[in-house]
Amino acid sequence: MSVRTRAIRFAGIALAGTLALSVSACSDNGEGGGDELVTVGFVAVGPEGAWRQANETNIQESFTEEAGFNLKYAPATNLDQKSQIDAFTSFVDEGVDVILLSATEGSGWEDSLSRAQEAEIPVILIDRGIEPDNTDLYVTRIAPDNIAVSTSVAEWAKTALPEGGNYFVLEGPAGVSVVNERNEGWDAVIGAESSFTKLGAQTANWSTEEAKSVFETVLKSNNNDVQLVFAQNDEMGLGAAQAIEEAGLTPGEDVKIATIDGTKGALEALAAGRLSFVAEYNPLFGDVAVDVVNKVLDGESVEPYIIAESLTFDSPEAAQEALPDRKF
Ligand code: AHR
């Protein structure tokens, strides 16, 4: 833990104004010696698809030395929570200034977060929430609003299928907060529509291959009588499209597919008519995270949930328009 942050914490609010001012000026220009860099421990998810790649690269490209940071990137080993808890523990023992956490599992973080609190190390959640959502144990969560994003998908489904229809949900891994939040937004709208029939839901672990095999079985066991797929991420939506094509059906016509993330691959598929709706889940909020870390270290208060604004794409034209400048 650098001298700077320990001083702020112990000096308390009274001094914060002036102290904060002088210190932040120093870190911003990176002058003033090594220990002026703020050490940030990033307990990350690691390889998990296009969205994750975009998000974690953006975080790493935002917390640079030029910006006054020494970022320690600790991706999970095969999405394993124990490897994340171990990394978190070593960051606390090492006395980093701040911890960023993207949890592979929602539950099981109470002890780790309490230890960070005892060590007075602020923790900021990146994308993923914790369950139960005890906001006393972390400073803030930065992420798009999963409930609002999946609500936008459901609202589109109502307009795209005014007669309703049979639908299936391809979910992310069980136990991940965003999965429950996305179900919540979707069910609140579609669950209330009697014209829509839920055939079922199954995890495909954010994977195109798994989604393809899951949906092949769904088509077979329902004699292809499925009109809609809600895929909780792009990769799984693309897997469903492959299964539909292999069943001799046409995605976008015989079966409509809606996805969440907004990656380049999904927009290309929407532009080609293979997907029908794509709700962005904006991964590029590294600059917001830097701003939040600086505010927190300067003793300023921040909102408990900071939402990264996201767009929606409901036509091939909208996708074609967005593709040229797409960064992820
Ligand atoms: O937590 C966000 C989800 O994790 C994305 O929607 C999915 O693609 C990623 O793997």
Residue 52 CA to ligand 1 centre (angstroms): 6
Mean pLDDT, residues 10-29: 44
**Spatial CA neighbour of 231 closest among 279, 181, 293:** 279
Residue nearest to atom 4 of ligand 1 (CA): 52
Residue 10 CA to ligand 1 centre (angstroms): 38
Q: Which of 48, 101, 207, 284 to mutate to test ligand 1, by most ligand atoms within 8 A of the CB atom?
A: 48
Q: Which of 126, 127, 233, 310 to mutate to test ligand 1, by most ligand atoms within 8 A of the CB atom?
A: 233
pLDDT-derived band at 36 (thresholds 50, 70, 90) equals confident
Q: Is residue 33 classed exposed, middle or buried when 0-12, 13-18 and 19+ CB atoms within 10 A define those classes?
A: exposed
Q: Are both 113 and 175 inside the same structural domain? A: no
d(C-alpha 135, C-alpha 89), whole Å: 20
Cβ of residue 51 lying under 6 Å from some atom of ligand 1: yes
Q: Which of 186, 232, 261 to mutate to test ligand 1, by most ligand atoms within 8 A of the CB atom?
A: 261
| pLDDT reported for residue 286 | 98
Q: Are both 94 and 163 inside the same structural domain? A: no
Residue 233 CA to ligand 1 centre (angstroms): 6
Q: Is residue 254 part of a domain?
A: yes
Q: Are both 217 and 134 inside the same structural domain? A: no
Residue 56 CA to ligand 1 centre (angstroms): 11
The atom of ligand 1 lying closest to the CA of 49 is 10
d(C-alpha 81, C-alpha 102), whole Å: 10
d(C-alpha 237, C-alpha 124), whole Å: 30
pLDDT-derived band at 34 (thresholds 50, 70, 90) equals low
- CATH number of the domain within which 241 lies: 3.40.50.2300
Q: What is the pTM of this model?
A: 0.89
pLDDT at 11 over 50: no
Q: Is residue 49 part of a domain?
A: yes
Cβ of residue 56 lying under 6 Å from some atom of ligand 1: no
Cβ of residue 265 lying under 6 Å from some atom of ligand 1: no
**Spatial CA neighbour of 101 closest among 75, 70, 135, 62:** 75
* Structural domain boundaries enclosing 103: 9-143+282-297
pLDDT-derived band at 42 (thresholds 50, 70, 90) equals very high
Calculate the average pLDDT of the chain: 92
More confident residue, 56 or 34: 56
Q: Are both 58 and 96 inside the same structural domain? A: yes
Q: Are both 118 and 153 inside the same structural domain? A: no
Cβ of residue 48 lying under 6 Å from some atom of ligand 1: yes
d(C-alpha 276, C-alpha 294), whole Å: 41
Mean pLDDT, residues 175-199: 97
Cβ of residue 261 lying under 6 Å from some atom of ligand 1: yes
Cβ of residue 260 lying under 6 Å from some atom of ligand 1: yes
The alpha-carbon radius of gyration of the chain (Å, integer) is 22
Q: Are both 260 and 286 inside the same structural domain? A: no
pLDDT-derived band at 23 (thresholds 50, 70, 90) equals very low
pLDDT at 35 over 90: no
| pLDDT reported for residue 311 | 97
Query: In total, how many domains does the chain have?
Result: 2
User: What is the DSSP track for 11-27?
Assistant: HHHHHHHHHHHHHHHHH
Per residue in 275-284, pLDDT tens? 999 999 999 9
Per residue in 145-182, pLDDT tens? 999 999 999 999 999 999 999 999 999 999 999 999 99
Q: Are both 292 and 176 inside the same structural domain? A: no
Residue 49 CA to ligand 1 centre (angstroms): 8
* Among 77-81, 164-168, 170-174, 217-221, the least confident range: 77-81
Q: Which two tokens stand for residue 312?
A: 């929606």
Is residue 89 within 8 Å of residue 83, measured between CB atoms? no
Mean pLDDT, residues 49-59: 98
pLDDT-derived band at 25 (thresholds 50, 70, 90) equals very low
d(C-alpha 103, C-alpha 43), whole Å: 8
Residue 231 CA to ligand 1 centre (angstroms): 11
